[in-house]
């Protein structure tokens, strides 16, 4: 899934964002009057002829279809089967992930349909959010297209993202030809060893949303007294999703991978300093003294551990 922080549907993405949302409080988010994207127009578009066009369709399609699905997620924590539900009602996306193995766990996330990660370099650039995102991703990954793929009994195209440096991981997507929905995502490390596979195994009757969704929702970034002085190339600060409360968190993304930074004063028990594997994600923790106050800095993301450690060690608190 933003990818990662992007607005694509994905089990892991929905889980991650839902868990983060659960800890948020109070809100300063505002949204301007948005333009409207017609989902009917999306469905009427011709089959994409270029890699960038497939990227743009994949991003937008996740805002325009209701569907139910079964999926499987495989990573270092094991194999999990999931039930997915994606509904759009009155311009609001409702994503529900239900674990089908072990204890019954259901996680729900709501967000404004049409809100996408921001990568437009200038406010008046003239690019749609999906166009700016696709161009940004192509600046940091070499993208190849395979036309004849098949996932969950559906015809698909495969998009392979090879990083242009050693600062990020490999990704591969399988995109449904009929709808543009993401059917499968594989993430691999620098040696191209698979770290995670997320795959829809059954996609039940995707139905086009009968209406329009916001195409250019804007949101303000929270004003924090701290920031990271170093980030991998291409990682851009992301505003808080409209309608979501503001937290002590900053999110950065290159379009596929995302890094969340948390800075908290130490008042009780803390995590051990260093690297903590969290399934497919990794957390880097630094404990720092600033005057009379001790702080815990945490970076969580889907990046090589040395990159996360460098990010968290670059955090500075403004006086």
Tokens representing 150 are: 């098949």
pTM of the model: 0.83
How many angstroms separate the first and last alpha carbons of the chain?
36
Give the pLDDT of residue 222: 59
Indicate the Cα dihedral angle 9, 219, 316, 290, nearest 10°: -100
pLDDT in tens, 115-163: 666 676 555 566 777 888 899 999 999 999 999 999 999 999 999 999 9
Is-contact 190 304, C-beta < 8 A? yes
Give the pLDDT of residue 318: 78
Q: Do domains 11-25+32-214 and 226-317 have the same CATH topology?
A: no
Confidence of residue 298 (pLDDT cuts 50, 70, 90): very high
Check pLDDT > 70 for residue 4. no
What is the rounded CA–CA span in Å between residue 126 and residue 200?
35
The residues, any chain, with a CB within 8 Å of residue 135's CB and separated by 6 or more, are: 52, 119, 127
The second-level CATH assignment, the architecture, of 226-317 is: 2-Layer Sandwich (3.30)
CATH of domain 11-25+32-214: 2.50.20.10
What is the rounded CA–CA span in Å between residue 206 and residue 64?
10
Mean local confidence (pLDDT), 47-68: 92
Mean local confidence (pLDDT), 100-108: 93
Beta bridge partners of 149: 156
Mean local confidence (pLDDT), 175-183: 96
**Residue extents of the structural domains in the chain:** 11-25+32-214, 226-317
- How many helices and strands, by DSSP H and E, does the chain display? 5, 19
Confidence of residue 224 (pLDDT cuts 50, 70, 90): confident
pLDDT: which is higher, 213 or 103: 103
Handedness of CA 312, 284, 20, 74 (dihedral sign): positive
């Amino acid at each position: 899934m933003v990818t990662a922080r992007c607005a694509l549907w994905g089990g892991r993405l929905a889980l991650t964002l839902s868990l983060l949302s659960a800890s948020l409080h109070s809100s300063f988010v505002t949204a301007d009057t948005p333009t409207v994207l017609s989902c009917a127009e999306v469905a009427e578009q011709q089959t994409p002829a270029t890699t960038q066009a497939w990227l743009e369709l994949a991003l937008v399609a996740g805002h325009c279809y209701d569907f139910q699905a079964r999926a499987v997620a495989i990573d270092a924590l094991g194999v999990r089967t999931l039930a997915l539900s994606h509904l759009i009602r009155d311009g609001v996306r409702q994503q529900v992930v239900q674990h089908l193995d072990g204890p019954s766990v259901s996680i729900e996330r709501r967000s404004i349909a049409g809100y996408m990660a921001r990568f437009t370099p200038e406010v008046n650039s003239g690019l749609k959010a999906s166009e700016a995102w696709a161009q940004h991703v192509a600046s940091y990954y070499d993208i190849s297209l395979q036309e004849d793929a098949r996932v969950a009994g559906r015809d698909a195209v495969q998009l392979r993202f090879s990083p242009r440096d050693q600062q990020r991981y490999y990704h591969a997507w399988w995109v449904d030809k009929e709808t543009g929905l993401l059917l499968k995502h594989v993430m691999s490390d620098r040696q191209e060893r698979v770290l995670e596979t997320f795959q829809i195994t059954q996609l039940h009757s995707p139905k086009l949303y009968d209406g329009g969704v916001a195409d250019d929702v804007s949101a303000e970034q929270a004003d924090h007294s701290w920031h990271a002085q170093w980030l991998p190339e291409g990682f851009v600060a992301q505003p808080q999703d409209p309608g979501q409360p503001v937290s002590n968190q900053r999110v950065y993304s290159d379009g596929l991978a995302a890094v969340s930074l948390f800075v908290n004063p130490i008042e009780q028990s803390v995590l051990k300093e260093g690297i903590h594997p969290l399934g497919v994600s990794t957390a880097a923790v630094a404990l720092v003294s600033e005057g009379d106050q001790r702080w815990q800095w945490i970076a969580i993301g889907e990046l090589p551990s040395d990159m996360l450690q460098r990010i968290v060690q670059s955090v500075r608190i403004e006086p």
